[in-house]
């Protein structure tokens, strides 16, 4: 499995590998405190630069590929999503660190991004794509189920959040053999 940073796009979104020039485009989008309420680290306000630097550092190490999510048509920045925990020896990776500005949530943006990210991962040789979220993030859990991911279980007291609260991480996955069905489901959502 070889995941390389490259532009991924369809009719709805363009995912651009994160670069320093994206910093000021993402900053105002990340200012919404609600985005970070259920995350392990913050990225709003004074926490934005350390968060952005962390995303770039993962990319520099080669175990993460972050993307600026951009709307096709007008080119507006909408948020962020990444490949992380890239493990070539075991042909697996995670799709995560996903967040969108308010206008993009509940739209076709997330299914369009997941279609691109999972498709590229499986094309690159992945056998397994993992997704995980906070046990209280029901919106995210429902989105993962809707896209055809399998709920695998919960790791209790998995992460200590910036709020001081323990996060139980709910794990989901899509295996290579399951991708055609998940892909068809995502494509039906995008067409609908």
pLDDT band at 100 (very low <50, low <70, confident <90, very high): very high
Mean pLDDT across the stretch 8-34?
96
Is 3.40.50.1820 the CATH classification of the domain at 8-191? no
Q: Is the pLDDT of residue 147 over 90?
A: no
Residue spans of the domains in the chain: they are: 8-191
Q: Is the pLDDT of residue 4 over 90?
A: no
Q: Is the pLDDT of residue 113 over 90?
A: yes
pLDDT band at 75 (very low <50, low <70, confident <90, very high): very high
Q: Is the pLDDT of residue 143 over 90?
A: no
Neighbouring-strand partners of residue 167 = 159
Q: Are the C-beta atoms of 87 and 93 separated by less than 8 Å?
A: yes
Per-residue pLDDT, 99: 95
> What percent of the chain shows pLDDT beyond 90?
83
Calculate the average pLDDT of the chain. 94
Place of tokens 């998940």: 182
Number of other residues whose CB lies within 10 A of the CB of residue 153: 9
H/E segment holding residue 120: helix 109-123
Q: Name which of 173, 13, 178, 167 is nearest 85 in CA terms.
A: 173
Q: Is the pLDDT of residue 139 over 90?
A: no
Residue 129: alpha-carbon gap to chain centroid: 11
């Amino acid at each position: 499995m070889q995941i390389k940073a490259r532009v991924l796009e369809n009719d709805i979104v363009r995912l651009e590998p994160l670069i320093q020039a994206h910093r000021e485009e993402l900053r105002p989008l990340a200012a919404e405190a609600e985005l970070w309420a259920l995350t392990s680290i913050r990225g709003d306000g004074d926490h934005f630069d350390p968060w952005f630097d962390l995303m770039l550092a993962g990319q520099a190490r080669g175990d993460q590929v972050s993307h600026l999510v951009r709307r096709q048509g007008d080119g507006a920045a909408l948020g962020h999503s990444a490949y992380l925990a890239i493990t070539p020896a075991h042909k697996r990776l995670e799709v995560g660190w996903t967040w969108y500005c308010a206008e993009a949530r509940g739209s076709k943006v997330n299914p369009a991004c997941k279609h691109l990210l999972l498709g590229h991962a499986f094309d690159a040789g992945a056998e397994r794509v993992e997704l995980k979220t906070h046990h209280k993030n029901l919106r995210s859990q429902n989105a993962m189920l809707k896209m055809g991911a399998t709920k695998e279980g919960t790791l209790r007291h998995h992460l200590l959040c910036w709020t001081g609260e323990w996060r139980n991480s709910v794990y989901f996955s899509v295996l290579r053999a399951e991708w055609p069905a998940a892909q068809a489901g995502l494509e039906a959502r995008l067409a609908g």
